[in-house]
Amino acid sequence: MRLCVVLLFVSLLTSCETQGTIETPVFVLKGRDLLLKLHADPPEGVLAVDWKINKTVTLVRFDPSGKATATLRFELGGNKFSVILKNLQEADSGVYSAVALTSTVDKLVAEYKVTVQGPVSPVELTVDRVDSNSSESCDLHVTCRTHNSHINSTFRCVDRVCSQEGGERSEVTTSGASLQVYLLNNVIICNHSNQVHWTQDFNTTEHLCSLKLDPPLRYGWMIVICILTVIVIIIMVLFVWLHHQRRTFSSRQSVDNVIYEAAQDETSASRQDQNDVTYSSVKFHSRSLQAAGATDTDQSDTLYATVKKPGRSFN
């Protein structure tokens, strides 16, 4: 009975070594290279070391000296019996194992479970609503969103100290990545990640709450700016109107001066013509009239004569 148990244990141990129990998970970003090397030196008397994928397809074989007989699309690593997988794509994911071949048994000396992943898509953190019942507290309703998934969460802030209702929220997207929204030091973080790549968007709760807690100050500045803008516009309109009125007044004054000067010239000319005709009073002595043989002695001793002066010439 004891002999049977010992034989069963040896059989299981041999089977485990053959099938492989040393499996190292490795995640690689798409397009990167990966170095595969042995966990331990191959046993003595090794005939060859084979690197296989999914334990069936042999990719490369090394002889006992470490010389490769086939490399395909791989390169030799710096260490003995190691290879470098170049420009990995998602289709290259699988189990890569190194098997040491001996004359008695094949021994698994390294095994890697390789998963090639692409970069995750960007995320966006949006604030859907901010509720506030007092100046000391507010509730933030946010959404963490990527191209094929989203998470909603609520954060309650009291006296600038916030907490997430229900704790951290997360879910697995259709591409196998993780989408999370959580609170860290009063900063809301929206995170989208897989094992090789991540993107984030974040915002501070203090800033978000201030949008709701300080509306009088925010709208007060807006009102002041609007009032100042209206005042500036009114001043500009008044300035333009006064300038227009001043130009109109100056134009009218110039026209009036021209008309006045023309009228003055006409009046002066008329008065000059009138002054050209003067009346002179000539008084003759009665004796002189008798001496001259005047016939009408009853006429007045005073005789008025009209004398027309020659007109003046104006240069």
Q: How much is the pLDDT for 27?
A: 95
Q: Is residue 232 within 8 Å of residue 224, measured between CB atoms?
A: no
∠ CA(31), CA(37), CA(43), 5° rounding? 160
DSSP code of 192? E
Whole-structure pTM value: 0.55
Q: What mean pLDDT comes out for the span 121-148?
A: 88
pLDDT of res. 11: 37
pLDDT tier, 154 (very low <50, low <70, confident <90, very high otherwise): very high
Q: How far is it, in rounded angstroms, from Cα 106 to Cα 146?
A: 48
Give the span between the Cα atoms of 294 and 188, in whole angstroms. Answer: 138
What are the chain's domains? Answer: 2-117 (2.60.40.10), 124-215 (no CATH)
**Confidence at residue 186, expressed as pLDDT on a 0 to 100 scale:** 87
Instruction: Please name the residue that has the structure tokens 């309650």.
Output: 156
What average pLDDT score do residues 160-169 get?
88
Per residue in 59-115, pLDDT (tens digit) is: 889 988 888 876 566 777 777 888 899 999 999 999 999 999 988 888 899 999 999
Q: What is the pLDDT of residues 173-186, one digit of tens each?
A: 888 899 999 999 88
- 42 or 315, higher pLDDT: 42
H or E segment at 286?
Answer: helix 286-291
pLDDT at residue 17 tops 50: no
Lowest pLDDT segment from 122-126, 141-145, 305-309: 305-309
Is the pLDDT higher at 192 or at 214?
192
* Residues 69, 61 contacting (CB under 8 angstroms): yes
**What is the Cα–Cα distance from 79 to 62, expressed in whole angstroms?**
12
> Which single residue is written with the structure tokens 């289709």?
91
Query: Lowest-confidence range among 24-33, 116-125, 197-206, 221-230?
Result: 221-230
